[in-house]
Amino acid sequence: MALVFTNEKCIGCNKCIHACSCIGANVFATQNGKNRIEVDEKRCIACGACFDVCEHNAREFNDDTNQFFHDLKKGTKISILVAPALKANYPDSYKNILGALKNMGVNHIISVSFGADITTWGYLNYIEQYNFKGGISQPCPSVVGYIERYIPQLIPKLFPIHSPMMCAAIYAKKYMGISDKLAFIGPCIAKKLEIDDPNNEHYISYNVTFRHLMHYIKSHKITGKAFTEEMEHGLGSIYPLPGGLKENVQWFLGDDVLVRQIEGEKRMYHYLEQNKHHIANNRIKYLFVDALNCESGCIYGPAIEDDKSKDDNNLSNLFEIRAESKKNGIRSAWSKRLTPKQRLKRLNKQFSKLDLKDFMRKYTDRSKQCQYKIPNRMELDHIFISMGKLKEEERKINCSCCGYETCFDMAVAIHNHFSHRDNCIYYIKKQVEEEHKKTLEQANNIRQQKEDLLKAVEKINDEFSGLYESVDYMSKGNDKNAAETSGISREMQEVSDFCKNLENSIIEIGQLLNELNNNNEEVGSIASQTNLLAVNAGIEATRAGEAGKGFSAVAFFIRDLADKSKKTVAESTQSQCKIEDAISNIQQDAQKLIEIINTVNDRTHSLAASTEKIANSVASIIEVSEVIKNKLKMLTQ
């Protein structure tokens, strides 16, 4: 679980990079197409600079507050170490806060101000015993973390004396015999780094910050009666003030002791970088450097509530505490009536039972986990060229928009994958300019294409005019064909009707021929009978002799009539056969004509349907042509 981390509110504004003194602790990244700045916990010293500058509340931190209350409810024996900044930030309610924790099961409540008195004692004795001068104070875990990670050559110059928090914990464990787990209540995120440092032997189990503590107390409505710390303390209570350690040392060694006071999340680390060679080689004239990460001291640590960071009265509260710490009696090491030398004597007497070695510590060189490479000239050129910085002046713009002070620092960050060229405003600007140039070229191309399009549209319009004429001609021709087809259909219907009438007439003629045939048969029968009469008349005339000559003439004429009747019947029958053959042929031809007419009618109907489809198609062609013409017109506007 990272100590400091980025939440979803980050917009990648680079302010945290600019504020951070640890190169590579803030890394430019892209997530889901969105720029953001991630924290590399191995490089981060939890100084809180990013919290101060982030307007988007995109940075958060973890501590042990929830675990502390969970274990406390579970019955775990816990005692607490309270930073003096609690009283400065909550002068009216800090006793009730302590009472609420006491009600929840906290055993001992020990003021870290007492631990600060031990730290002062440890510094003074270490200076005297080891003639240690020109060192760097170490109560601030961010300062220690920076030196361990980025200026390891200054590790020997760090005072090997524990911080007030650790001195209070060691005293509680070794000299008071407290076996409880210990929790530190303070305003500092970085104390977690100190608590978890193996060099500190895990004396403390929980880092409980003011912000999370007060949120828990308010959200759970925890209350309690007033309660105070168990141990009396001296000027250690002013350690949270800027120069608090310096003032403590001068209290015992005199105001003429030269102590370099430096604080501020940016200025202090810049000072160490600038003077690291002088400090490492004992070329500074100060007794030591009193270095704090926070510009306003530990009162306004990064883990206090937001409204407290704006309350300037907190400083005045601590000045009142300082005034209370300076006693009037002559037996106390904090007496105003004693000389610095007398005070030191009283202090050593007060802590005479303490072993300095119990309060000494070691440090770890952590620089390997924070190493980065400086690009050579060729690599540097390659980076700058990729950023579009071809000229020397372009490589020294130093606008700091990327979060780095100089373009060189940015190039180093890119080389070590801490950042990316996309985070350079100059590169983005140049990209935009190139894109703008391309856009103009594309606009010119589009303009030319539009002109070509207009010409093409004009040509198409001309072709459409021809199309309209062709379609109109086809439409009129189609209409004419439709009219003629309808006329043909009507005329064919008349022919069909004529054929049907002809067929009926032929049937009637057939019927008449049948009647004629019957008449011929009757005439033949009469002729036969007439012929028989003629024979009989001839016989009778012969018998009559001369008297029958007239009758014989009649018989001749009757026979001649009968022969002519038979001849007429024979000729009529022969003509009837010819007529019947002709009628049969006419019937067959009429039937073929009807079939042809039906076929023509079918085709005429089909042609009429096709003509209708052609008409519909022509209408569709005209409609689509109009749509295309309108769209082409829109393209030209």
Residue of 238, 111, 116 whose CA lies nearest to 185:
111
User: 87-101, 102-116, 275-289, 567-581 — which is least confidently predicted?
Assistant: 567-581
Structure-token pair, residue 361: 């510590």
Residue type at 503 in one-letter notation: E
CATH of domain 438-635: 1.10.287.950
Angstrom distance (rounded) from CA 580 to CA 604: 35
Residue of 140, 145, 154 whose CA lies nearest to 279:
154
Residue of 3, 62, 85 whose CA lies nearest to 300:
85
pLDDT bucket at 552, cuts 50 / 70 / 90: low
Residue of 19, 83, 23, 84 whose CA lies nearest to 50:
19
Residue type at 233 in one-letter notation: H
Q: Model confidence over 401-435: pLDDT tens digits?
A: 999 999 999 999 999 999 999 999 999 998 888 88
Q: Tokens 């390891």 appear where?
A: 152
**Sign for the pseudo-dihedral over CA of 500, 505, 509, 514:** positive
pLDDT at 456: 63
pLDDT bucket at 336, cuts 50 / 70 / 90: confident
> Crossing angle, helix 141-150 and helix 267-280, to 10 degrees?
60
Q: Can you tell me the mean pLDDT for 364-374?
A: 96
Residue type at 47 in one-letter notation: C
pLDDT bucket at 290, cuts 50 / 70 / 90: very high
The residues with which 183 forms a beta bridge, in sequence order, are 80, 206
> Strand 206-209 vs strand 288-292: parallel, antiparallel, or unpaired?
unpaired
Calculate the CA 293 to chain-centre distance: 38
User: 210-219, 256-265, 282-291, 621-630 — which is least confidently predicted?
Assistant: 621-630
What percent of the chain stands above pLDDT 90? 57
Q: Model confidence over 268-278: pLDDT tens digits?
A: 999 999 999 99
The reported pTM is: 0.70
Helix (H), strand (E) at residue 526: helix 425-544
Residue of 154, 137, 159, 167 whose CA lies nearest to 293:
137
Angstrom distance (rounded) from CA 261 to CA 286: 10
Neighbours of 38 (CB within 10 A): 16
- Hey, which CATH number is domain 1-62, 3.40.50.11540, 3.30.70.3270, 3.60.20.10, 3.40.50.620? 3.30.70.3270
Structure-token pair, residue 236: 């250690």
pLDDT at 186: 97
Which three-class secondary structure state does DSSP give residue 49? helix
pLDDT bucket at 551, cuts 50 / 70 / 90: very low
Domain segments of the chain as ranges: 1-62, 63-298+331-352, 377-423, 438-635
The residues with which 182 forms a beta bridge, in sequence order, are 79
Buried-state track 282-302, b at ≥16 Cβ within 10 A, e below 16: eebebbbbbbbbbebbbbbbb
Angstrom distance (rounded) from CA 186 to CA 184: 6
